A = this chain, B = another copy of it.
Amino acid sequence: MSKKNKLRIIPLGGLGEVGKNMMAYEFGNDIIVVDAGIMFPDNDMLGVDYIIPDFEYLVKKASHVRALIITHGHEDHIGAIQHFIEQINVPIYATPLTRGLIEGKLSRNNAQHKANIKTVQAGESTHIGPFKIEYFHISHSIPDSVGLGITTPAGLVVHMSDFKFDHTPVDGWPTDFAKLSEFSMRGVDLLLSDSTNAERPGWTPSESVIGPAFDKVFAEAKGRVIVATFASLISRVQQVADAAAKSGRKMALAGPSMVDNVKIARKLKYLEIPDELIVPIEQAGNMPDHKVVIMCTGSQGEPSSIVGRLSAGTNRQFGLKPNDTVVLSSHPIPGNEESISKTINRLLRQGANVIHDGIAPVHVSGHAAQEEQKLLINLVRPKHFMPIHGELRQLKRHADLAKQVGIEEANIIVVENGQVVELVGNKILLGERIPGDYVFVDGESIGDIDHDIMKERGQLARNGILLIDISLDKFSGKLLHEPEILTRGFVTPAEAETLLPEIRKRVMQAVNGGDMDNEKEIVSTIKSYLHQETKRRPMVFVTLSKT
């Protein structure tokens, strides 16, 4: 087979989940991109709002990029579209609900005019350059999700995005098993599959288990019920609406993204909620508590979310009441456990009742567990297998599962973001590594924060700073006045009272004694003194003016 028949598979981003936020498929001079999402920062990524994948590789080949294909409407798959189309403005392919959510998000950021979106339906296919893309329905925690069958001259690739095999999903539309079998009969050269739950044994429960749990909570709650989840967890909104109707409560929505998304999903008929069930949040405030459900964001304990503000007592639109029942309808994203726990404690401290997935099945995962992952592999029977959507620990486990169900070890490839994989001559090979990392977004700065800055922030944060301002007479070299010292994040006022005069004295002695006449020497002397006294190492800055 000719070397020209080479499909390059490129997962983009940093050391997080592989290919979750962006993947590229490159064949000759044509590139299609799958998904453009954001990631949330780790706890040690100080001051970062969110992260997008570094797609410099694609920018350099922008004239080759033909399309951006979006598998579903979650933030980690659509959140970076705005940044992407600013640099590579190609047509975007998405199913109707996904399209609606993308448009809603872009319009909240005043960028809707920039996007050229084409609607596709599960079951349809599009031809883009050498790629034939078949969209097929997969069930996930948001309706209208698709997987992709990508036929190229190098072979047939099945790209499963986030999925589970829910036989009784909220929207009644299970994963398209027939299509997967059909691919299998055609012969699949490479399967890429969701590794999120590769460490979880068994089978992820159906979303339908949540209904009865909600019914019970709604019936037993004496006051209001406040349900927090992601604004894009559209299926959950349907379940809350159903439970509200059954329990004789009205539903109010809080938060712009929640209000927007529900409006879009109702308009597009992905949510069936009668008008009379929904009341404006202001009206809900005047209704008896046991007649009210409020649906809002903040299930991850984000301080700026509605539940975050409720827990801190700083929500303006409405406050928490002692009889409220707060339902956190989600599972902690790894790294958020601590802030969620603090939020739960704060809510309890105010007298609210809190229900989370550790207490009742008010949430189930949207991702396939091990038995489903094995079933997928057996349904598709691919020649090659590449686990995606997980960190290395999940990818390795997923690779083990593939081995267990009979994929040859040599045909399984585990890589991290930035490592190109090549499908060529019926073989799967490692290609080159491309530069590729996280791009940190902080304020309006995209990519102006790098790992060095993060390191400096870590240093500032660990021990604080100490500034010394020294003015010398340029003729005598003597101090013109006492050094001025300022600290932040270093010592309490009480400790400063004893420490600072001592520093001042040492600087004065040294400078006037002629021992030190440059900033570097002073910094190093003061640093060793501080470490000796406090065993801490603040950043020390000296401004020295000779006049």
Per-residue 0/1 for A378-407: is the Cβ within 8 Å of any B Cβ (1 yes, 0 no)?
Answer: 000000000000011100110000000000
One digit per residue, 1 when the CB lies within 8 angstroms of any chain B CB and 0 when it does not, for chain A 347-364 equals 011000010001100000
Q: Which of A54-62, A74-82, A462-470 contacts B (4 or more CB under 8 A)?
A: A462-470
Copy total for this chain = 2
Bound CA span A536–B358, Å:
38
Among the stretches A155-163, A174-182, A203-211, A331-339, the one at the interface with B is: A331-339
A2 in contact (CB, < 8 A): no
Tell me if B358 and A199 are in contact (CB < 8 A): yes
Task: Tell me whether B457 and A543 are in contact (CB under 8 A).
Answer: no
**Interface residue total, chain A, C-beta cutoff 8 A:** 67
Contact yes or no, B338 A393, CB < 8 A = no
Question: Which segment, of A24-32, A264-272, A489-497, faces chain B?
Answer: A489-497
CB within 8 Å of B: which A486-506 residues: 486, 488-492, 494-495
B-side contacts of A464, CB under 8 Å: 47, 453, 456-457, 460
B345 touches A393 (CB 8 A): yes
The chain B residue with its CB closest to the CB of A393 is: B344
> In the bound complex, how far is the Cα of B301 from the Cα of A44, in angstroms?
14
Q: Which of B358, B462, B471, B536 makes the CB contact (< 8 A) with A46?
A: B462
A453 nearest in chain B by CB position: B489
Question: Taking CB as reference atom, which chain B residue is nearest A343?
Answer: B393
Question: Are B341 and A535 in contact, CB atoms less than 8 angstroms apart?
Answer: no
Whether A476 is near chain B, meaning CB under 8 Å from some CB there, is: no
0/1 per residue, A42-77, Cβ < 8 Å to B?
Answer: 111011000000000000000000000000000000
The chain B residue with its CB closest to the CB of A452 is: B492
Interface residues of A (CB under 8 A from B): 15, 42-44, 46-47, 199, 334-335, 337-338, 341-342, 344-345, 348-349, 354, 358-359, 391-393, 396-397, 416, 442-445, 448-450, 452-454, 456-465, 467, 469, 471, 480, 484, 486, 488-492, 494-495, 534-536, 539, 541, 543, 545, 547
28 residue pairs A–B, Cβ–Cβ below 8 Å? A15-B345, A42-B338, A43-B338, A46-B462, A47-B489, A335-B337, A337-B337, A341-B391, A344-B392, A344-B393, A345-B392, A348-B396, A359-B397, A443-B536, A444-B535, A448-B534, A449-B492, A453-B464, A453-B489, A453-B492, A456-B464, A457-B462, A457-B464, A465-B465, A465-B488, A469-B543, A543-B543, A545-B547
